[in-house]
Amino acid sequence: MNNTADKFILLSLRLITYAIVLVVGYILFDIIRNGFSALNWQFVSSFPRRSGAAGGIFPAIVGTFYLVVGTIAVSLPLGVGGAIYLAEYAEQNRFNSLIRLAIITLAGVPSIVFGLFGLGIFVLFFGFGPSILAGSLTLACMVLPTIIVASEESLRAVPKGFRDASLALGATKWEMIRTNVLPYSLSGMITGAILGIGRAAGETAPILLTVAAFYLPRLPKSVFDQVMALPYHLYILATQHPEAERIRHMQYGTALILLLLVLGLSLGAILLRTHSRKKFRW
Amino acid sequence: MVEHSIYPENQEMVITTSQVNFFYGQTQALFGISLLIPAKQVTALIGPSGCGKSTFLRCLNRMNDTIPHGRVEGEIFINAKDIYAPGTDVVELRKEVGMVFQKSNPFPKSIFDNVAYGPRIHGEKNPKRLAEIVEQSLQQAAIWDEVKDRLHANAMGLSGGQQQRLCIARALAVGPKILLMDEPASALDPKATTRIEDLIGELRTNYTIVIVTHNMQQAARVSDYTAFFYEGQLIECDQTPKIFTNPRQKQTEDYITGRFG
């Protein structure tokens, strides 16, 4: 009887997993099948023509790349710093659990809300205008919770034995954290960054209000310039473009490039993570 | 309770504790511990689980500072300095008082970097000097011959017993006078345990050692003095042979004859 129940559970779980893989696989397959025909050197290296109906998406690739780099550059140090405070220094009391709860809740806030927040704070209040700076800061706010949570988990996962041994050898608390906690939790922090990269590259709503332009004749010169970005470009092509029906291949091509860009950035981070895991194993 | 008469007349004392209480929040774990630790001797702390012997040991290098809501009362003098006095430099204290833990805890770094860790954080940068310290410490910990050809291999690849001796070497590299050992062999097989016990026998010529152990045969084998703890109290402390043959307190006798604990 028990054995039958066990088999049934195993089979159900397996089917559920397969179903998920199937859905993801189909989406990927659909994008690759339809987008592949649009891919060529000109598509990735030239500016759009006829409002994106022809030409390429080069400035959008560059824009998304800048935004992702800017987002990580802001959110990783802040997130890791916050995580170090929460995991290593903050006392376990009600106030700090409240902070933690707030951070987790922040992760669930809809991205359009972050967009409006960024518009209010960075674009208008600080007067950055629609710009890479405002967009990156907005996206950084959005991915911050993810990075904090992932980093804090990985800090807490470092065995107490390493900490005790460091302190007993006369290390100060910060020396202990720097030499015997941070290096081992690096891989978890990179995981947080990978998740952040994916979100920062893919979100449309936050950049819609803070940085994205549909068409710019030249690449940005400074962080105060607007940029084109892949998700926004895709959104316009697919829903706002007068020739939307006719340029499906351009839309799929853009989606495919966005996927490849996220994959490429994540792959870099994954390699870094594998390297740091190999270096410190226990 | 502790009478000087149990020590030879000119025995120098390194650690003096008087009326030490320790609290975990509201729970009192140590009650008025007054104990003398003689220089260059091995003092064993024995007693059943939860009797406070490890807590007491961790008071001696202030490792209990890291416990949230932990609190110490009373006085602990090490080399005539009150280690709980305001303004005490804990880093200096821990350079003086090394510690070896129950579960061997080498860092996931190379053998060399493990031993060099302490000297490095204390500012030693000279590679030649570091290499000397590493070799000397590994030799003192009786592990040099086993690892000298793979100093740059990851320490996690060593056996449990080797890891523990590496941890001892790492503690010695800082140049302590006192070594605290918290059940250093309890996770090791008999052969590795013997090696650790032999090592303690060698180290006692140069170091003052305080060892917590669950294993009474071990206490009898390695120590010169034994202190018996029970329910947070120091029941008695005496020369080890006396404790094991002719204890003054009934509780001690009951424990060492295996009637409880």
pLDDT at B211 > cutoff 90: yes
Measured between CA atoms, the residue of chain A closest to residue B175 is A169
Check B117 against A179: CB less than 8 A apart: yes
Amino acid at A61: I
Check A180 against B107: CB less than 8 A apart: yes
Predicted confidence at residue B117, as pLDDT, reads 95
Produce one character per residue of B123-149: b if its CB has 16 or more CB atoms within 10 Å, e if not. eeeeeeebeebbbebbebbbbbebbee
Q: State how far the Cα of A143 lies from the Cα of A138, in Å rounded to an integer.
A: 9
Q: Assign B260 a pLDDT band (cuts: 50, 70, 90).
A: low
Q: Which of B108, B122, B170 is closest, CB to CB, to A280?
A: B108
Check A169 against B103: CB less than 8 A apart: no
Angstroms from A231 CA to nearest CA on chain B: 42
Check B105 against A91: CB less than 8 A apart: no
Predicted confidence (pLDDT) per residue in A243-268, tens digit: 878 888 888 999 999 998 888 888 88
Amino acid at A98: L
Interface membership of B143 toward A (CB under 8 Å) = no
Q: State how far the Cα of A43 lies from the Cα of B91, in Å rounded to an integer.
A: 62
Task: State mean pLDDT over A233-242.
Answer: 87
Residues of B in contact with A93 (CB under 8 A): none
The CA-atom distances, in angstroms, between B137 and each of A31, A208, B99 are: 62, 62, 14
Task: State mean pLDDT over A78-90.
Answer: 92
Predicted confidence at residue A241, as pLDDT, reads 82
Measured between CA atoms, the residue of chain B closest to residue A174 is B121
Residues of B in contact with A167 (CB under 8 A): 63, 66, 94
Q: Assign B6 a pLDDT band (cuts: 50, 70, 90).
A: confident
Measured between CA atoms, the residue of chain B closest to residue A165 is B105
Positive or negative, the Cα torsion across A168, A172, A174, A180? Answer: negative
For testing the chain A interface, which of B58, B59, B60, B107 should be mutated: the one with the most A CBs within 10 Å?
B107
Residues of A in contact with B170 (CB under 8 A): 165, 169
Predicted confidence (pLDDT) per residue in B62-89, tens digit: 999 888 889 999 999 999 899 999 989 9
Predicted confidence at residue A81, as pLDDT, reads 94
B200 is written with which tokens? 């303690």
Check B167 against A172: CB less than 8 A apart: no
Interface membership of B187 toward A (CB under 8 Å) = no
Predicted confidence at residue B261, as pLDDT, reads 53
* Residue A112 phi, psi dihedral angles, 5° rounding: -65, -30
Q: Assign A242 a pLDDT band (cuts: 50, 70, 90).
A: confident
Interface membership of B62 toward A (CB under 8 Å) = no
Predicted confidence at residue A270, as pLDDT, reads 83
Element (H, E) at B87: none
Q: State how far the Cα of A74 lies from the Cα of A149, in Å rounded to an integer.
A: 16
Predicted confidence at residue A26, as pLDDT, reads 95
Could you give all domains of chain A from N- to C-terminal order, each with its CATH number? 41-279 (1.10.3720.10)
Scan for tokens 């949570």, then name that residue: A149
Q: State how far the Cα of B209 lies from the Cα of A190, in Å rounded to an integer.
A: 43
Predicted confidence at residue A222, as pLDDT, reads 85
Chains A and B form CB pairs within 8 A to the count of 64
Instruction: Report the complex ipTM.
Output: 0.89
Q: State how far the Cα of B98 lies from the Cα of B140, in Å rounded to an integer.
A: 14
Alpha carbon dihedral B207, B210, B216, B222, in 10-degree steps, equals 0
3-state secondary structure of A140: helix
pLDDT at A29 > cutoff 60: yes
Contacts of B253 (CB under 8 A, 6+ apart): B247
* Residue B43 phi, psi dihedral angles, 5° rounding: -110, 125
Residue percentage of chain A with pLDDT more than 70? 98
Residues of B in contact with A161 (CB under 8 A): 101, 103, 105
Residues of B in contact with A184 (CB under 8 A): 108
Task: State mean pLDDT over A164-175.
Answer: 94
| Strands (DSSP E) found in B129-177 | none
Which of these, A151, A149, A156, A153, lies nearest to A102 by C-alpha position? A149
pLDDT at A56 > cutoff 90: no
Check B170 against A165: CB less than 8 A apart: yes
Element (H, E) at B233: strand B233-239
Positive or negative, the Cα torsion across A107, A109, A114, A120? Answer: negative
3-state secondary structure of B88: coil
Measured between CA atoms, the residue of chain A closest to residue B69 is A91
Check A165 against B63: CB less than 8 A apart: no
Is A230:A67 a contact under the CB 8 Å cutoff?
A: no
pLDDT at B1 > cutoff 70: no
Predicted confidence (pLDDT) per residue in A99-117, tens digit: 989 998 998 899 999 999 9
Amino acid at A138: T
pLDDT at A281 > cutoff 80: no
Q: State how far the Cα of B67 lies from the Cα of B63, in Å rounded to an integer.
A: 8
Q: State how far the Cα of A200 lies from the Cα of A76, in Å rounded to an integer.
A: 12
| Strands (DSSP E) found in A38-195 | 48-49, 54-55
> Which residues from A are below 8 Å from B when comparing CB atoms?
91-92, 159, 161-172, 175, 179-180, 184, 280-282
Element (H, E) at B215: none
Check A170 against B66: CB less than 8 A apart: no
Measured between CA atoms, the residue of chain A closest to residue B156 is A282
Measured between CA atoms, the residue of chain A closest to residue B90 is A170
Predicted confidence (pLDDT) per residue in A127-168, tens digit: 998 999 999 999 999 999 999 999 999 999 899 999 999 999
Predicted confidence (pLDDT) per residue in A186-212, tens digit: 888 888 888 888 888 888 899 999 988
pLDDT at B210 > cutoff 60: yes
